[in-house]
């Protein structure tokens, strides 16, 4: 039984794979066979599934993740001008940072969902928070994607949050592409950086492009696959970049473009890379054993197109997923999907609440009835949405891999499953026990209703948990990180007009309680009233003051089971 967040998620063994070999990127990637399914039904949505890619961009804060997202949208024609993540001079903000606090702080605090097309492929891109205090949102998002792009800052290398995020990817063998960003700044030696990434993240790498110098001497990247040289000029638009085909590195054109010294160094580097890494094995990539690597500068839109083109070519299409009863294949005829994110007030003017659903199989259709497994009732959705951050468009249908926004009046929780009648849950969606507890204090009694509505809706999003102390009305908020309280306080004031403050409470851990003897559980809650509470669904919770108190109560109450996740009540 796990005690904390990282014990729950990260204690999984992994072996560092050997260097891969053989395979051309242009080889077609075949899907896993699903012999138990009717072949006619498999082929029914084959075209739609094959034209979809769903991925998340992850990184340590300030590595350039949101900037890279903007460049992807620019290439896909989804936006016309790339926004600045944080700038006093530029009023156009990043598309994915749609919350006002994100724009003010220059960080992402919630996952943004964006859908666009590129080279005939429908791409569902999820830009995740990098800050550790919002890690739960990122971890849940990773359950809804088929692959990830990991952004590494060439100056700082692998950082703490990078390691944690990579552990989650390795747990699910999620395919990873690495983008080493900020090559136009003085950073670590490129070979040292590759070694650091391999050692720290326990994954083998395969360079797909190779940089010529870095910092003020950065001259461009050589595409090892296409045998082409892309020259770097700062502040130049993507379509103005100079691309030169150099099939033979001995060609004197290389010396003329980058200089004799840098040309000779590139020849030596490429010879070494070919000898160490060989050719990319796409099967190793699809099984999460090897990560293709690209170098560039997201802010200058340099080296991004090469990665996006390769992603379109090799990234996996929607895959099969495990449920509580069986494996659900993406190609199945019957619809299924699960809720991985809820966001209140996506449009503050309309006070809407949107549940984000990943379609896992079949076809989702507007105005068609689907089965809500947990509530055991049928529901239909007249206005399902696709998203470009806060902007949304009504859609008629969606297929495996798509992310759909469903207008929600309070029917959904994170992890809920929709089907065409079958009862099962998609598994592997992480839950978290809070680590910091604070009392919610109302600063304006005239706004009590607004405060209660606001905190109820915001805690539904999964960034915090709400408890009500037994024998009173004290509201207790539990979070994993301090910054979450600041965001909650800001959003309560801005979106609901409710002013509040938080008072720190001396609690160590929240434990959900069950017992086969209701009388003993009732007596325990009465005797421990100061440390007892209810969660939002009315389930009893024990708030332990320390690990010693927790272990003592577990020992002294053998007829009561202490759970570190609310999932026991599903």
| pLDDT(27) > 90 | no
C-alpha span between 562 and 179 (Å, rounded): 43
Q: Residues 336, 205: one domain?
A: no
Residue 426 forms beta bridges with which residues? 323
d(CA 432, CA 485): 16
pLDDT attached to residue 45: 85
For residues 281 and 19, give the distance between their C-alpha atoms in angstroms, rounded to a whole number: 10
Instruction: Report the alpha-carbon distance of residue 329 to residue 400 in Å, rounded.
Output: 9
Give helix 135-142 / helix 160-171 axis angle, nearest 10°: 30
295's CB contacts (< 8 A; 6+ apart) are: 154, 179, 180, 183, 190, 207, 209, 210, 211, 221, 303
Please tell me the total count of domains within the chain: 3
Q: Provide the token pair at 568.
A: 């026991």
* pLDDT score of 336 more than 60: yes
Same domain, 178 and 47: yes
| Residue 7: per-residue pLDDT | 36
Which pLDDT does position 388 carry in this prediction? Answer: 58
- Please indicate, yes or no, whether residues 532 and 451 belong to a single structural domain of this protein: yes
Which is more confident, 283 or 89?
Answer: 283
Residues 48, 193 within the same domain: yes
| DSSP notation for 471-510 | TS--EEEEESSHHHHHHHHHHHHHHH---EEEEE----EE
What are φ and ψ of residue 171, in 5° steps?
-60, -35
Q: CA-to-CA distance for 525 and 566, rounded, in angstroms?
A: 17
DSSP 568: G
Residue 414's domain is classified under what CATH number? 3.40.50.300
Contact 145, 169 (CB under 8 A): no
* Residue 294 domain boundaries: 5-225+277-314
Q: What tokens were used for 500? A: 């509040």
Residue 4 CA to residue 550 CA, distance in Å, equals: 13
Q: Is 137 within 8 Å of 328 (Cβ atoms)?
A: no
Query: φ and ψ at 503, to 5 degrees?
Result: -115, 125
Residue 250 domain-assigned (yes or no):
no
- Average pLDDT value over all residues in the chain: 81
**144 or 24: which leads in pLDDT:** 144
Element (H, E) at 527: helix 518-527
- Same domain? For 221 and 341 the reply is no
29 and 104 co-located in one domain: yes
From 321, 317, 329, 326, select the one nearest 39 (Cα to Cα).
329
Last residue of a domain, one of 262, 285, 314: 314
Tokens read off for 507 = 């609690």
pLDDT given for residue 424 in this prediction: 94
Does the pLDDT value for residue 100 go beyond 90?
A: no
Which CATH number goes with the domain that contains 464?
Answer: 3.30.70.3280
DSSP string, 391-406: EEEE-SEEETT-EEEE
306 and 350 co-located in one domain = no
Q: Which residues, other chains included, contact 415 with Cβ-Cβ below 8 Å and sequence gap of 6+?
A: 338, 339, 340, 425, 426, 429, 431, 567, 570
Whether 137 shows a pLDDT value over 80: the answer reads no
Do 310 and 334 fall into the same domain?
no
pLDDT of residue 345: 63
Position 180 in a domain: yes
Last residue of a domain, one of 392, 419, 446: 419
Q: Is the pLDDT of residue 104 over 60?
A: no
Model pLDDT, residue 391:
59
Q: Residue 552: which pLDDT band, with cuts at 50, 70 and 90?
A: very high
Helices (H), 112-243: 135-142, 160-171, 190-201
Global pTM? 0.75
| 342 & 472 share domain | no
pLDDT band at 21 (very low <50, low <70, confident <90, very high): very low
Least trusted range by pLDDT, from 55-64, 82-91, 510-519:
82-91
For 460-494, the pLDDT digits (tens) are 777 788 999 987 788 999 987 787 888 889 888 98
Q: Verify that 131 and 220 share a domain, yes or no.
A: yes
Instruction: Indicate the SS3 state at residue 376.
Output: coil
Whether 414 and 460 share a structural domain: no
CB 457 within 8 A of CB 345: yes
CB count within 10 Å of CB 59 equals: 25
**What per-residue confidence (pLDDT) applies to 42?**
53
- Specify which residues 419 forms β-bridges with: 336, 371
Give me the pLDDT at residue 346, please.
58
Both 368 and 285 in one domain: the answer is no
């Amino acid at each position: 039984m796990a005690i904390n967040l990282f014990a729950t998620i990260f204690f999984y063994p992994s072996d560092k794979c050997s260097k891969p070999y053989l395979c051309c990127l242009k080889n077609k990637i075949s899907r896993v066979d699903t012999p138990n399914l009717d072949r006619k039904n498999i082929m029914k949505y084959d075209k739609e599934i094959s034209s979809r890619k769903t991925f998340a961009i992850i990184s340590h804060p300030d590595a350039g993740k949101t900037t890279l997202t903007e460049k992807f949208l620019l290439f896909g024609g989804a936006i016309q001008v790339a926004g600045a993540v944080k700038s006093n001079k530029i009023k156009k903000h990043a598309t994915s940072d749609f919350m006002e606090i994100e724009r003010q702080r220059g960080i992402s605090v919630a996952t943004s969902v964006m859908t666009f097309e590129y080279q005939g492929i429908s791409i569902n891109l999820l830009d995740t928070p990098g800050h550790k205090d919002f890690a739960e949102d990122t971890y849940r998002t990773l359950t809804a994607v088929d692959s990830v792009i990991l952004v590494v800052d060439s100056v700082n290398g692998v950082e703490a949050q990078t390691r944690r995020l990579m552990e989650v990817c390795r747990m699910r063998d999620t395919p990873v592409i690495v983008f080493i960003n900020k090559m136009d700044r003085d950073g670590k030696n490129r070979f040292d950086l590759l070694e650091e990434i391999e050692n720290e993240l326990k994954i083998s790498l395969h360079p797909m492009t190779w940089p010529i110098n870095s910092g003020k001497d950065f001259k461009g990247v050589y595409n090892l696959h296409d045998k082409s040289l892309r020259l770097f000029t700062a502040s130049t638009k993507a379509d103005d970049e100079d691309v030169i085909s150099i099939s033979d590195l001995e060609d004197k054109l290389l010396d003329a473009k980058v200089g004799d010294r840098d040309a000779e160094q590139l020849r030596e580097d490429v010879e070494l890379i070919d000898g160490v890494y060989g050719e990319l094995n796409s099967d190793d990539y699809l099984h999460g054993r090897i990560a293709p690597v690209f170098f560039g500068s997201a802010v200058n839109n340099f080296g991004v197109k090469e990665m996006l083109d390769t992603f379109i070519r090799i990234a996996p299409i929607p895959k099969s997923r495990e449920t509580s009863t069986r494996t659900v294949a993406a190609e199945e005829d019957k619809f299924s999907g699960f809720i991985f994110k809820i966001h209140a007030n996506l449009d503050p003017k309309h006070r809407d609440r949107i549940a984000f659903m990943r379609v896992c199989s079949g076809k989702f259709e507007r105005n068609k009835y689907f089965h809500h497994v947990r509530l055991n009732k049928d529901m239909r959705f007249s206005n399902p949405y696709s998203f470009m951050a806060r902007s949304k468009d009504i859609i008629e249908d969606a297929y495996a891999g798509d992310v759909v926004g469903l207008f929600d009046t309070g029917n959904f929780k994170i992890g809920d499953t929709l089907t065409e009648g079958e009862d099962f849950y998609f598994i592997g969606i992480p839950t978290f026990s809070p680590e910091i507890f604070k009392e919610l204090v109302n600063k304006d009694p005239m706004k009590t209703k607004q405060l209660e509505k606001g905190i109820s809706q915001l805690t539904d999003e999964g960034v915090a948990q709400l408890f009500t102390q037994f024998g009173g009305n004290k509201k207790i908020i539990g979070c994993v990180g301090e910054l979450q309280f600041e965001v909650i306080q800001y959003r309560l004031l801005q979106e609901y007009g409710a002013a509040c403050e938080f008072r720190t409470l001396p609690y160590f851990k929240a434990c959900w309680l069950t017992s086969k003897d209701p009388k003993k559980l009732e007596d325990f809650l009465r005797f421990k009233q100061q440390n007892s509470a209810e969660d939002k669904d009315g389930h009893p919770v024990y708030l332990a003051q320390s690990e010693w108190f927790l272990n003592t109560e577990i020992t002294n109450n053998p007829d009561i089971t202490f759970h570190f996740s609310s999932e026991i009540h599903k």
